[in-house]
Amino acid sequence: MPGSRDVDESKRATLRRFAAFGAASPLTRFRDDADDGDRNDARDAIAGYLTTTPGAHFSKVRDDLQLGTGETQHHLRELESNGAVESRKDGDYRRFFPAGRFSEFEQVALGYLRRDTARGMLLELLRTPDATGSDLADALDVSRPTVSKYAGELETAGLLSREDGYAVEEPETVLTLLVRYADSFDADAVAFAATADDLIRFDP
């Protein structure tokens, strides 16, 4: 089993890797003279993490960066009050984003793209626009009622139309988010991005 020293070094390496992203952005980088190096690393790491994983909820930020609950709460509160980060309620979750980077539609889309079944449905519909509910259930290995449940949620959120079958709303935007942040989703999104990235134009 790894000792506490190994765990601590792993945490430091993770924080420093994401802190590099946070430090690179004037918007997300700020200093507080009362903070020591470790606290700055943690805050910059959260800011950097959210640039690569926008729409992550609190527990994911905390767990992926190996931070404590109170520590994560403190730094997210400071980042929000400083105007570097913004958040929105999404059902039982509160999701966090770099401030000023995403429209309301994009924030909602990223929230659903971070849910496995909803993301799978959107991916499949982008691949196969004429897929039926049964096709989606087979592709995702879920029940037809599960597809209907998520389709209703996606329609209410403005991400899906059910007027004539299923159709992704603003498909270019959803496609762009999937490709740009594929590494923060799963292997299926990465595979999708490898074949879809020539269909859209990035504006970094």
Question: Which domain range does residue 51 map to?
Answer: 4-101
Q: Torsion angle of alpha carbons 177, 179, 182, 184, nearest 10°?
A: -30
Residue 202 maps to a domain: no
With DSSP H G I counted as helix, E B as strand and the rest as coil, what are the percentages for the chain, rounded to 5? 60, 10, 30
Query: What is the token pair recorded at 201?
Result: 């134009």
29-79 pLDDT tens trace: 444 544 554 557 888 899 999 999 999 999 999 999 999 999 999 999 999
Residues 71 and 159 in one domain: no
What does the pLDDT read at residue 36?
Answer: 52
**pLDDT tops 60 at residue 132:** yes
Residues 148 and 112 in one domain: yes
Share above pLDDT 70 across residues of the chain, in percent, rounded to a whole number: 77
Residue 131 maps to a domain: yes
33-45 pLDDT tens trace: 445 545 578 888 9
Query: What is the token pair recorded at 131?
Result: 């897929």
Residue 201 maps to a domain: no
Number of domains in the chain: 2
Domain endpoint, select from 54, 85, 101? 101
Residues 11 and 90 in one domain: yes
d(CA 110, CA 41): 26
Average pLDDT of span 103-132: 96
